Structure 1
Amino acid sequence: MTVAGRALLQRLIALEQRIRAAVAARRATDPNPDDPFRGLYLSDAAVDELLETPRDPYQGGDPDDTGDPASRLALLAKGAGLSALDVDLLLVALAPDVDSRFEQFYGYLNDDVTRRRATAGLALRLCGYTEADATGRARLDAGAPLVRTGLLNVDEPDRPFLSRTLRVPDRTVAHLLGDDRADPDLAGVLAGDDLTRLPSTPDSERLARAVATGVNLVYLRERTGASGLACAAAAFEANGLSVLGVDAERLATLSEAPQLIRAVVREAVLRGAGVACGPVDGLVPTSILEAFAGVPVPLVLYGTSGWDPRWSQRPPLQSDAMPLTAVQRADMWRDALHGRTAPHVDAAAATAHFVLGALAVRRAADAADIAARVEDTTVDIDHLRYGARGQNAAGLERLARRIEPTVDWADLVLPENVLAGLKELAARARHRDTVLGEWRMRPGGGRGRGVTGLFAGDSGTGKTMSAEVIATGLGLDLYTVNLATVVDKYIGETEKNLERIFTEAAGVNGVLLFDEADAIFGKRSEVRDAHDRYANVESAYLLQRMETFDGLAILATNLRANLDEAFTRRLDVVVDFPVPDESLRQRLWETCLGPRVPRASDVDLGFLANNFELAGGHIRSAAVTSAYLAAEAARPVGMADVIGAVAREYRKLGRMCLEREFGPYMEYAAV
């Protein structure tokens, strides 16, 4: 038996002495003590005895004895604000759950063998109070500490107050016996993260000071990349409290939410913990706030939106949860990985452009370690980025197509000035924490910390592939926005769809690509009718929303002239993709056919580059078609296959196959 269990049994020994005194008093006045049907009916003599004898409290024992001040019962009494009478009532109610003899005792004292738990009246009398004592009765009403904290249930509300049964939840009994496992009913709503040794930040230090001064209600507004749960946990730990992290979104979906909220209150009281509950975005946490009102447990709610005064008449302390600095994230990575990285790998540098909170860093490090152990190696950069990408929420995938990048910088065939623009965009994404955060180069005005670029050029010039290469270089996923899920014919719906995309993308470490961006980022026009006015409202909304965006977005368009000029000022990098010249076309043919495709000796890449003015996308398509033609004929790719593929590409483009372009290979173009 645990030390806590032995201490509790010692308290029950004192209660047993009171029970003995109560049984003796009952026998002394029992008109028929040998009745074999005792407790099943009331005889005339028993009724007469009830009429003649007042219902006095039982004597015996000291109801004010609180026992060892270091015991779990004493610590619980202090943390929950219980009086000595509350402790005695709790002991009376839990006795049958610890010692089964008390079931028989209570059946006898209740004069009803079917009622084997203490009733409110019996408990009051065992504690030395009369049944009509207002002070004693008040300790069992709904607002009393015992009941409000969920440590004690008063069942059977339809019965008269004194005959209502007192019952102690199993979790309370288990805790007093030394069991620290959480209530199994809460398994689905409690955070499973390790919430200890989290970094202290200015916002967590402010929260810690508030908790230390007795502030019991706080609302944290999470900034992008911040964790309200981590902030609250660090503040509670600074005050010597553990933390219960509650998933408010999960809780809101459950039909038994009211009972679970009550169980959360009880668990926090038993552990001496603070509660961090969120995110509450889109929810009305009134029931949570009501359950914690009057309970001596600090409650921190968090979410990305502001506090709504209609939620509660009790004003909270409102504060911000800010993202970790680069130095703090570096320390978190080192602490989470415990030297499991390869010698040449700097985890902080490899993931500097990932916006991750403290808990996300820990989860990412664990995921990276698992991936490395599967490959029987140490953690390298690819493992780190794999773990970091795994922390992305799945909400954006319902609004955009997720692409895992498979190409890198070596696969790009572009002019040097274009490559320089792409590398500048990647550098902005990689170092924005330093420039925009530490150096504060974008202060005020509600501006976001996002990076946006425009890729403009004809179809097939490499815009989408370049976005994929940037994602590869940064170790991010690429999300291509499907315009079919965005544009809506009904007024205001397009803006709502875009808002959902931007909101989801802000919490995702990825590259957001708007292909054919001119369809939604078009120029504002002169207002001639209602349609023009609402179209301009849509463009104006996008202008504002792009400024507050915190992620990495790329707009790709074939028609740069159709974009509103106001977007240009808000773009960080503009890259124009030209149609490739002859030298680039030859490199494109070489790259697209690749080293693994068997190639006949008659393939003349110089002729192809010189005679056919095709963009990279069309060259790629022709190369793939030629490979299929050769595979069908079971031979290496020959000039006939390539010319035939080019001719097919010309027809798709609506271009004529002219002899001056195809020259001696004209016969293959007719196939």
Structure 2
Amino acid sequence: MSPGADHAHVLGRLAVVEARVRRAVAARRTTDPQPDDPFRGLYVSDHRVEQLLDETERPVPWPDPVDEALLRRVEQDADAARGPVRLRLLAERFGLVPLDVELLLLATAPDLDSRFEPLYGYLNDDVSRRRATIGTALRLCGCAEARLDGRVRFGHDAPLVAGGLVVIDDAERPFLSRALRVPDRVTAHLLGDDRPDPALLDVLVAPPPVGHLPLPGDEALAGALDRGACLVYLREQPGASGSLLGATALERVGRPVLTVDATRLAATADPVATAGVLVREARLAGAGLVVEPVTALADRPALLRLLATAPVSVLLVGPGAWDPGWSFEPPLQFTVTAAGVEVRESTWRSMLGARLGEGVDPARETAQFQLDPPQIARAARAAVLQADLTGTTVDGPLLRRGAREQNAAGLEGLARRIEPAVGWDDLVLPAAVLTALHGLAARARHRDLVLGRWRMRPGGGRGHGLIGLLTGESGTGKTMSAEVLAADLGLDLYTVDLASVVDKYVGETEKNLEKIFVEAARVNGVLLFDEADAIFGKRSDVRDAQDRYANMESAYLLQRMESFDGLALLSTNLRANLDDAFVRRLDVIVDFPTPGEALRRALWDRCLGTRLPRAHDLDLDFCARAFDLAGGSIRAVAVTAAYRAAEAARPVEMGDLVTAVAAEYRKLGRLCLDREFGAYADLAG
């Protein structure tokens, strides 16, 4: 239907209202002894008092034969238009009876034609009352003011009022003298305007940027909506998009989509009133509401009940189980599974088009990321923008960078974010350790295939997460290996600060950890628990209340780690202190041994680097043979020696290394033995 047809139909119906108002004004003037009194409506004369005492109520006869003829012509023109006009659709969607439609038109008349303002002031016998009152509207529709069948059309549960089509002002006045007002959005809609109410500009968000994709379950959900399902709860699994599935299903049944940011809705000045505007907007457009995340509304039961009982399709999206307390009516619960590899690859390629580099497989390059199609669309746009800086096509690193940019920022307040800056070539480790680390990276890349498609971890409530343990003496390369793994996977590394987690008050540690796990589930990153034995330690016999609560904390961690869907690494110097139940739930354990002489020689060379100038007297073979140090300590020695060389403005010398080793020994609490330092013993101090 074109806006012109809607506009013509409303104006045609308004002409019928005008004819009725003209008859009412004419009838009033025949009994008015002073129709030209300039102070009409400002006072009540004695003659008017007598007239009012003798007068009985005289509703305007309706329908009048003239009105009926004009109304027939207007409706015949509407029948000839293509498709239903908006006024008829509005009556159908809001359940209006013919009397409701007439009352709505009477109320909106001053907003469409300014001539009605003084006319209503005259009929109201008050020049300041320039809108139709309830009494005036009832009389113009031929209804006696005291008859219940007319008055109930303005009850709080009547379609006009409950639907937000008509607002009754002046609640302190008697019922019949209360003014009727039609919201601007309703008037604009009747004239053909499809722009949403300005009150919703901060609440409505753009629909998911990807459409027309075959998603798991979209046909089944569309069928349920087509059969009349109104309240639906879409529970998202990791890597799934409930909003996209909901929008796709609504589009399948021919309904527009209004996507609502529940967090913004809850933050408005009056969320319940805003939700009422939302529901009215959906009914005006014949649309469905997709609201996410429902967790943002969990502490607002009145708001949730309003949405749950709305006479439109409402699809609530959330990650957890449905709480029966959210609604008196149970919803249709629907689990949203992650899109398959084919859908993700199709999304990448459709969004990148010719900008994708030749031979680049986007699905393989980003297999370690849990991204839903809307996130993929945003990541693709981010990768294209980065490629525009250099005028190149999109390659694997740019794809991974775009994917990382989709991470939520909530975890950064709970853990320290590290953007990896090292690679496999920076690791100096035994071959067996490197093999184990490569295997851990392979698990991260292919867990969607192995655990998802092949279902190699069914039942038991276990998530699709990956948990690895890095164990070994301090300085053997555990933290650096975690950073290398993150870099290889194209992910950020988040190091959990135990000081912000462990709390002396009962139950607070679990709450802090729960925040971390919830936020980590929204982030494509590697979560590193350094010194993990501090919170994953062994349970003990219960001798007092402290032991009891410590064991409860451990039991919680066991359950939470098992259901975790992300990538987590635990590092510890004391593997023996870890609870056996934790060890059983680990996917990979990598032991980092203290480096032998050959590895120490490579570490000395790697830690000194290629930019630091070296003197000819450096004897790295002696350093590797004599000093039994781990990689972290060797790096510390190299840095200290570099500072000494910089202060002296010369290349680093053997004396700098030996002196730095002695300082490191003292820091570690070790003795500086002459036999260990050999010919350089005098430099050890």
TM norm structure 1: 0.95
Which residue matches 1:203?
A: 217
Which residue matches 2:55?
A: 52
Q: Is the 8 A contact 1:80 1:295 kept in 2?
A: no
Q: Say if 1:193 and 1:202 are closer, same or farther in 2 by CA, change over 3 A.
A: closer
Q: Say if 1:81 and 1:369 are closer, same or farther in 2 by CA, change over 3 A.
A: farther
Which of 115, 137, 140 is the aligned partner of 1:123?
A: 137
Which residue matches 2:109?
A: 95
Per-residue deviation, 1:165: 1.2
In the aligned structure 2, how far is the partner of 1:422 from the partner of 1:294?
53
Compute the RMSD of aligned alpha carbons: 2.1
In the aligned structure 1, how far is the partner of 2:631 from the partner of 2:574?
18
Which of 20, 28, 32 is the aligned partner of 2:30?
A: 28
In the aligned structure 1, how far is the partner of 2:106 from the partner of 2:405?
52
In the aligned structure 2, how far is the partner of 1:126 from the partner of 1:227?
52
Q: Is 1:164 the equivalent of 2:178?
A: yes
Task: After superposition, give the CA deviation of every residue in 1:150-209 in whole Å (9 maximum; x if it has no partner).
Answer: 222112222222211111111222222232222222122212344661534343333222
In the aligned structure 1, how far is the partner of 2:20 from the partner of 2:460?
71
Q: Is 1:144 the equivalent of 2:158?
A: yes
For residue 139 of structure 1, give the secondary structure of its aligned residue in structure 2: helix
In the aligned structure 2, how far is the partner of 1:603 from the partner of 1:351?
45
Which of 487, 511, 526 is the aligned partner of 1:472?
A: 487
Per-residue deviation, 1:135: 2.7
Task: After superposition, give the CA deviation of every residue in 1:260-299 in whole Å (9 maximum; x if it has no partner).
Answer: 1111112111221111223122614532344346643111
Q: Say if 1:250 and 1:242 are closer, same or farther in 2 by CA, change over 3 A.
A: same
Q: Say if 1:124 and 1:655 are closer, same or farther in 2 by CA, change over 3 A.
A: same
Per-residue deviation, 1:145: 1.9
Which of 254, 258, 278 is the aligned partner of 1:244?
A: 258
1:354-503 map, 5 Å? 354-503=369-518
Which of 282, 287, 292 is the aligned partner of 1:268?
A: 282
Per-residue deviation, 1:250: 2.4
Q: After alignment, is 74-83 or 54-63 more displaced? A: 54-63
Q: Is 1:665 the equivalent of 2:680?
A: yes
Structure 1 portions without partners, runs of 5+: none
Task: After superposition, give the CA deviation of every residue in 1:203-225 in whole Å (9 maximum; x if it has no partner).
Answer: 33332222111121122222222
Task: After superposition, give the CA deviation of every residue in 1:51-72 in whole Å (9 maximum; x if it has no partner).
Answer: 3242313544249768426222
Per-residue deviation, 1:322: 2.0
What residue identity is the alignment partner of 1:401?
R
Q: Is the 8 A contact 2:471 2:575 kept in 1?
A: yes
For residue 324 of structure 1, give the secondary structure of its aligned residue in structure 2: coil
Q: Is the 8 A contact 1:154 1:165 kept in 2?
A: yes
Task: After superposition, give the CA deviation of every residue in 1:310-361 in whole Å (9 maximum; x if it has no partner).
Answer: 2322222222222222222222222333332222322222112211223222
Structure 2 portions without partners, runs of 5+: none
Q: Say if 1:330 and 1:457 are closer, same or farther in 2 by CA, change over 3 A.
A: same
In the aligned structure 2, how far is the partner of 1:80 from the partner of 1:351?
48
Task: After superposition, give the CA deviation of every residue in 1:454-482 in whole Å (9 maximum; x if it has no partner).
Answer: 10100000000000111111111111111
Which residue matches 1:110?
A: 124
Q: After alignment, is 598-607 or 458-467 more displaced? A: 598-607
Q: Is 1:529 the equivalent of 2:529?
A: no
Per-residue deviation, 1:638: 2.2
Q: Is the 8 A contact 1:196 1:234 kept in 2?
A: no
In the aligned structure 2, how far is the partner of 1:640 from the partner of 1:178?
86
Q: After alignment, is 575-584 or 639-648 more displaced? A: 639-648
Task: After superposition, give the CA deviation of every residue in 1:616-641 in whole Å (9 maximum; x if it has no partner).
Answer: 11111111112222222222222222
Q: After alignment, is 36-45 or 7-16 more displaced? A: 7-16
Q: After alignment, is 64-73 or 295-304 more displaced? A: 64-73
For residue 281 of structure 1, give the secondary structure of its aligned residue in structure 2: helix
In the aligned structure 2, how far is the partner of 1:202 from the partner of 1:382?
29
For residue 88 of structure 1, give the secondary structure of its aligned residue in structure 2: helix
Q: Is the 8 A contact 2:420 2:492 kept in 1?
A: yes
TM norm structure 2: 0.93
In the aligned structure 1, how far is the partner of 2:209 from the partner of 2:231?
20
For residue 246 of structure 1, give the secondary structure of its aligned residue in structure 2: strand
Q: Is the 8 A contact 1:275 1:300 kept in 2?
A: yes
Q: Is 1:646 the equivalent of 2:661?
A: yes
Q: Say if 1:338 and 1:74 are closer, same or farther in 2 by CA, change over 3 A.
A: farther
Which of 294, 298, 311 is the aligned partner of 2:326?
A: 311
In the aligned structure 1, how far is the partner of 2:682 from the partner of 2:167?
92
Which residue matches 1:81?
A: 95
In the aligned structure 1, how far is the partner of 2:586 from the partner of 2:143?
77
Q: Is the 8 A contact 2:595 2:631 kept in 1?
A: yes
Which residue matches 1:218?
A: 232
Q: Is the 8 A contact 1:196 1:237 kept in 2?
A: no
In the aligned structure 2, how far is the partner of 1:385 from the partner of 1:296?
43
For residue 338 of structure 1, give the secondary structure of its aligned residue in structure 2: helix
Q: Is the 8 A contact 2:428 2:599 kept in 1?
A: yes
Q: After alignment, is 263-272 or 488-497 more displaced? A: 488-497
Q: Say if 1:331 and 1:532 are closer, same or farther in 2 by CA, change over 3 A.
A: same
Q: Say if 1:409 and 1:220 are closer, same or farther in 2 by CA, change over 3 A.
A: same
In the aligned structure 2, how far is the partner of 1:449 from the partner of 1:335?
28
Q: After alignment, is 165-174 or 652-661 more displaced? A: 652-661
Per-residue deviation, 1:648: 1.5
What residue identity is the alignment partner of 1:46?
R
In the aligned structure 2, how far is the partner of 1:578 from the partner of 1:289?
56
For residue 470 of structure 2, give the secondary structure of its aligned residue in structure 1: strand
Task: After superposition, give the CA deviation of every residue in 1:567-602 in whole Å (9 maximum; x if it has no partner).
Answer: 222111100001111221121122111122222222
Aligned-residue sequence identity (percent) comes to 60
In the aligned structure 2, how far is the partner of 1:503 from the partner of 1:560?
27
Per-residue deviation, 1:507: 1.8
For residue 661 of structure 1, give the secondary structure of its aligned residue in structure 2: helix
In the aligned structure 2, how far is the partner of 1:312 from the partner of 1:529?
43
In the aligned structure 2, how far is the partner of 1:518 from the partner of 1:618?
22
Q: Is the 8 A contact 1:364 1:384 kept in 2?
A: yes
Q: Say if 1:293 and 1:150 are closer, same or farther in 2 by CA, change over 3 A.
A: farther
In the aligned structure 2, how far is the partner of 1:7 from the partner of 1:634?
90
